[in-house]
Amino acid sequence: MCNTRCAGRRASRAGIAGVLTLLWLACVFVSLPASAACLPNADPSIRALQVQVDEDANAALKKVASLLKTELAEPIPNSQRLASLYSVQAQAYSILELESKARDAVFKGLKFTSDNTDPVRVMLLSLYAENVYDQAGIAAAVKTTEEAQAVQKRGSLEDICLLIGRGLLQYRQDREDLAIGSLTQAYRSSTTSAFAEPHALAAGVLATVLRGMGDYSQALALNQEAIDWDIGRHAPLALSVDRFLRGRILILMQKYAQAIDEFDDARKLSAMLNDTQGVAFADVRVCESRIELGQLIKARAACENALFTFIASRFSDEVKETEALLARIDLAEGHPEKALATLNEVLDHSGTDVLPLRVASLYQWRARTNAALHNYRDAYNDLSEYIRRYVSTNDADRTKQAVALRARFETDREIERNALLKRELDLSHEQSQRQAQQLRWNAIAAVSGVLVIALLIYFLLTNLRFRKQLVRLASLDSLTGLPNRRRTAELAIEALAGTTAAEQPLTVAIIDLDHFKFINDRCGHATGDYVLREFARLGRESVRAGDTLGRWGGEEFLLVMPDATVEVAIATLERLRTLVFGINLPPSGAGLRVSMSAGLAVRDKQIRSLDELIARADAALYVAKNEGRDLVRVADEKFLTTTGVRRAIRQ
């Protein structure tokens, strides 16, 4: 449904550790097939435009813009045609990864259709589901989708398209059990030739969900259905993405030679479409596969090609993953010193700025590298960390697989229940005779239920104080006493929603203590902890009563300032920066001083999620660091003009 190469392509921009941690569960490895018109428009001219979007989205956009201009100039515009044109525009923007513009087109189209039985409105709602990622937007989209679905005929094309959209939204809510149920129902309800397009769409999305749940063979079969459909409708962009997804599944199945063939096909299509980032993502996966096959020279060439593009695009997460692969090659070629230097750089933040599923393997390879250099103590520590993370990841995978099995079992039961409905009706007379006896048991159960409820209320009141204390502790960082990352993110999302509704400014700042690792290494971890606590104390004294200062990760902090202009925010940060100079270090830190760098960003009308706002602030912090540190910098308004940047922060 959304045209991404892989989770890294969404999450790698600017290395935002907090965003990675917050979003990886919903998006990691969530590569989804390119957008398609789930509902063919009844108007032949609009349908022709939908087909053109699959072949050349940019050309279709130009034609739609011209038609919209003509239609809006009419004394009495045709509302149905306008809604249809905006749906085509949203579909094209979705394929081009311009989600914000796609959402805007959807909102414009919805103004011209309010009937939930209108196929054009259903199409607009499906497109919105493809292009919303923030949790508040997803929750609202689920509600709107379910309201529209409630008035559709079961098994109709509109019902199937809404099921696909609902399944995608549920998956982004980390509800794989619900997502599999919705998508399986859509897939099985669209088996007739008349529903070939939504059937292929459901197959592609369901393949991605099942891959994340570990059902590789089923995911591979569903992915092939999507590929066959892409070939039949001559959609090179969608085919490139689906070939790439197939390669990812084959890597997980350890079929590396077959995976390379799929990545090569995806790379050729990306090159034909001038998609340099798509080429880079194919190259890095080819590099990974060739390493597993022992083809180190070819692997290095592929990784170096990818690294050049990722550095130019500032995909820091993908840069780190590619460098880690190059370190593996160096180790295999007998250069452990070079490999260790690279892996130390990749893990310079203890893996907090790398997607969690990738961190465990990084510690494993650094353990092997340390062992090759006879650094056995370091190797043991890295191996212990690898085992801890590996066990945690495996436990989560087993839970997901259990959820998937339950969801599929429940879906099969639903189908079986429908088949047995007639027989159940025939048995209704016998059931009515048993009803009187059942009512008596129900009365006994009701009395028992009242007693149980009373007992539960007693326990609830008894433990309320302890629960409140646990909630408070779970929301605070134990070292600094500031809100922890999860609580800070919740408060920031609430502030964004409130200021957006009230049309007030919202300013956020990413603050980073300069050379903190150097202070830690020279003066010791106790001094490092003292610096963090002092910074938190000074921060609480410097910010306004309604502001939120929270620990974002390591030596990074997030400051959220509702109803604050840039001038107010700069004054606050400059005051805090001056106070930080006064933090005293022990004699071992002679010649050092504590300083901070900060990046500021202000919400504007183009920003619809906290992720985009933080990405701006992080870019400004990057500028402050590059310009010498101990600085406060404001985000450049051009930050969001790069193609695909919003996708880069989804993970």
Nearest-angstrom CA–CA distance, 366 and 331: 10
Q: Sort strands 506-513 and 596-602 into parallel, antiparallel or unpaired.
A: antiparallel
Choosing from 97, 99, 158, 555, the catalytic residue is: 555
Residue 555 annotated as catalytic: yes
Q: Which two tokens stand for residue 564?
A: 């604050």
Amino acid at 528: G
Kindly give, in sequence order, each residue whose CB lies less than 8 Å from that of residue 643, ignoring residues fewer than 6 positions away: 96, 97
Coil, strand or helix: which one is 592?
coil
Cβ pair 283, 267 in contact under 8 A: yes
Coil, strand or helix: which one is 246?
helix
Residue 515: what are its φ and ψ, rounded to 5°? 50, 35
Nearest-angstrom CA–CA distance, 535 and 540: 9
Q: Which two tokens stand for residue 256?
A: 């590396």
Residue 563: what are its φ and ψ, rounded to 5°? 55, 45
Residue 145: what are its φ and ψ, rounded to 5°? -65, -45
Amino acid at 396: A
Q: How far apart are the first and last CA of the chain?
A: 16
Kindly give, in sequence order, each residue whose CB lies less than 8 Å from that of residue 103, ignoring residues fewer than 6 positions away: 90, 128, 131, 132, 608
- What ranges in 253-375 are assigned the alpha helix state H? 256-272, 276-292, 296-313, 316-332, 336-346, 356-372
Cβ pair 32, 251 in contact under 8 A: no
Nearest-angstrom CA–CA distance, 155 and 435: 34
Tallying the residues shown for the chain, one arrives at 651
Element (H, E) at 525: helix 525-542
Sheet hosting strand 556-562, strand order edge to edge: 548-553, 556-562, 506-513, 596-602, 632-634
Coil, strand or helix: which one is 122?
helix
Q: Provide the annotated active-site residues.
A: 555
